[in-house]
């Protein structure tokens, strides 16, 4: 089970990053000099391990290390690389307009991350000027205890 967790999280991120980088290296630079953006979505386990989640923490730390390695290699080539740990349950909008998470229940007072706002941040990261490219942005709702 532990190996499957690492394979499904870290190794798959490696393979996707590798193929994305190969494709983006062929892109003509934009007016900003950028050839593309690779965003590694991560979990809070990339920042802090929890009891009984060793394999998941290992996988998330591996993804953070991969993102840093990719950034150091690819950013000088015009490919923006970001690591985005999300320290929150993600509440998906239901038919009645409320947001809910399969285990955390229904959102109350914006206590869960909203997928639309996560997407907005990802678009902002993609549009950043290369003189101020962010590498790591941790997302958490205002009520998260960290």
Please state the pTM of the whole predicted model: 0.89
What is the Cα–Cα distance from 16 to 13, expressed in whole angstroms? 5
Does residue 57 have a pLDDT over 70?
A: yes
How many other β-carbons are positioned within 10 Å of the β-carbon of residue 64? 21
Averaged pLDDT for residues 131-144 = 92
pLDDT digits (tens, 9 = 90+) for 1-34: 788 998 999 999 999 999 999 999 999 999 889 9
CATH class of 2-132: alpha beta
Ranges of H-type helices in 75-113? none
Residues 6 or more apart whose CB falls under 8 angstroms from that of 8 comprise 59
């Amino acid at each position: 089970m532990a190996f499957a967790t690492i394979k499904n999280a870290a190794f798959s991120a490696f393979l996707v990053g590798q193929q994305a980088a190969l494709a983006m290296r062929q892109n003509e630079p934009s007016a900003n000099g950028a050839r593309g953006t690779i965003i590694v979505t991560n979990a809070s386990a990339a920042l802090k391990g929890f009891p009984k989640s060793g394999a998941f923490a290992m996988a998330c730390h591996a993804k953070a290390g991969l993102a840093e390695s990719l950034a150091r290699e690819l950013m000088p080539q015009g490919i923006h690389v970001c690591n985005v740990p999300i320290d929150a349950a993600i509440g998906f909008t239901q038919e009645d307009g409320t947001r809910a998470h399969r285990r955390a229940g229904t959102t109350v007072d914006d206590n869960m991350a909203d997928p639309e706002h996560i997407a907005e941040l990802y678009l902002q990261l993609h549009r950043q000027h290369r003189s101020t490219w962010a590498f790591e942005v941790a997302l958490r709702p205002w009520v998260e205890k960290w």
